[in-house]
Amino acid sequence: MPRIAPVVPALLLTLAALSGCTGDGGGVDGTPGGSGLRDPYFPKAGNGGYDVTHYALTLAYDPGTRHLTGTADITARAGKDLSAFDLDLKGLTVRDVTVEGAGARFSRAGQELTVRPHDELPKGRTFRVTVRYAGTPETITDADGSREGWVYTEDGALGLGEPVGSMAWFPGNHHPSDKATYDITVTVPQGLAAVSNGELAGRTTRDGRATFHWRTAEPMASYLATVGIGRYDLRRATVGDDRLPVWTAVDPVSAKDAAPVLARLPEVMDWLRDNFGPYPFASTGALVEREEDATYALETQTRPFFPGTPDMITFVHELAHQWYGDSVTPKTWRDMWLNEGFATYAEWLWAEDHGGQSAQQRFAELYDHGEDEYEDMWDFPPGRPGSAADISADPVYQRGAMVLHKIRQTVGDDAFYDLIQGWAAAHRHGNASTADFIAYVERQAPDEDFSAIWSDWLYGQGRPAHA
């Protein structure tokens, strides 16, 4: 570099101050992180160049005006030398952005919030970006027609994220492959409660406002983050010999009908631990809203969401996801059957152990008459959904469970339970793909031939010729 003549101190200080205020200047030799991770079904979801380790979200919401104010403090690690990086954020108005306390330039294009820090972020550097934002959050219509994002309710709102709805209420790296820990603090009008994932770390009331601070110490994909705001009956209890904390939040309209199901949570948790191994999180529970507030249940981490009173099968399904989907999270949305196939097979196992159909009976029924119950039963294989609209369709759930049953038939009951418990332990708090699962199964049972299961049941088009 050429030598530069000395600058008088006063002018140098002035230029430095101006540079810090505008976010311009600074020698930046890195490259942009990249928008989107090229997911097979959601190519713009997530972003390249960095890994988020922690989200600290400070939110304030007024249901009367539907106005959300937020500050997102995001701690991340640069995966390469970064001159810029993207966050996913749909709607809302960004007020300002800082990186390591210095003002940063930013721009918006669709769901992309592009941040240009004053100085390059070198590879391996842990950095903090702070985004202040506000506005009326959007309700997103998913590819399959369901509603997610910020869903408005009779007395508040719900933040529902699967698959990409979380970007409607906080900026982030919104792809399941980037998991992080969370602190979520929400201030609401007094008389309402704010419920989120993890454990309640603090609750205060001041000047007619109530603040709830929830902490999730285990890694969580952003689509599993939730916020429920409403007039909930919020209760704490414990289950099991280890006195695992349980937080339940129930809308008063649903409280009476939901009580018998929630009372069976200790029984369900004991059964799940017996079948799938140690529970992977520091608390459990449920969030029960009014039936009309949403159209689907969701496995939000540590605290599954239910629209109205769940039946026992749905209750078991969403709690089973805490092992398969929440702790072991798919690497891409193409791997969705690793969530839904496992949770659906948990339904079959529950029925088998509680006086219902055996898993074999359910398998045979679906093979013979599945198309009568599910019109799209054989439309595509579970390992390769046709489009983003199909990742929550019946083949992913039902045929995904059938894949697991074929494995159980092949290896026998004892080896099967060892296998599924081992899978949950091997990828605890991490991510896994279908290729990882195939390799794992074949390592655990090297003397068995699974090729027909993979070719016919997992990836085969149409109804397999033989059950």
The CA distance from 260 to 312, in Å, is 10
Residue 139 tokens read as 């309700």
Measuring CA to CA, how many Å separate 213 from each of 57, 186, 210, 419? 10, 7, 10, 38
The model's pLDDT over 403-423, given as tens digits with 9 standing for 90+, comes to: 999 999 999 999 999 999 999
Residue 32 tokens read as 């942009």
Say which residues have a Cβ less than 8 Å from residue 453's Cβ, sequence separation at least 6.
403, 406, 407, 410
If we measure between CA atoms, which residue out of 182, 200, 91, 71 comes closest to residue 131? 71
The CA distance from 215 to 182, in Å, is 6
CA gyration radius, the chain: 24
The model's pLDDT over 164-184, given as tens digits with 9 standing for 90+, comes to: 999 999 999 999 999 999 999
> Which segments of 4-125 are extended strands (E)?
31-32, 50-62, 67-78, 82-88, 93-99, 102-103, 105-109, 112-116
Would you write out the chain's pLDDT as a tens digit for each of its 467 residues?
Answer: 432 333 333 333 333 333 333 333 344 578 999 999 999 999 999 999 999 999 999 999 999 999 999 999 999 999 999 999 999 999 999 999 999 999 999 999 999 999 999 999 999 999 999 999 999 999 999 998 999 999 999 999 999 999 999 999 999 999 999 999 999 999 999 999 999 999 999 999 999 999 999 999 999 999 999 999 999 999 999 999 999 999 999 999 999 999 999 999 999 999 999 999 999 999 999 999 999 999 999 999 999 999 999 999 999 999 999 999 999 999 999 999 999 999 999 999 999 999 999 999 999 999 999 999 999 999 999 999 999 999 999 999 999 999 999 999 999 999 999 999 999 999 999 999 999 999 999 999 999 999 999 999 999 999 999 99
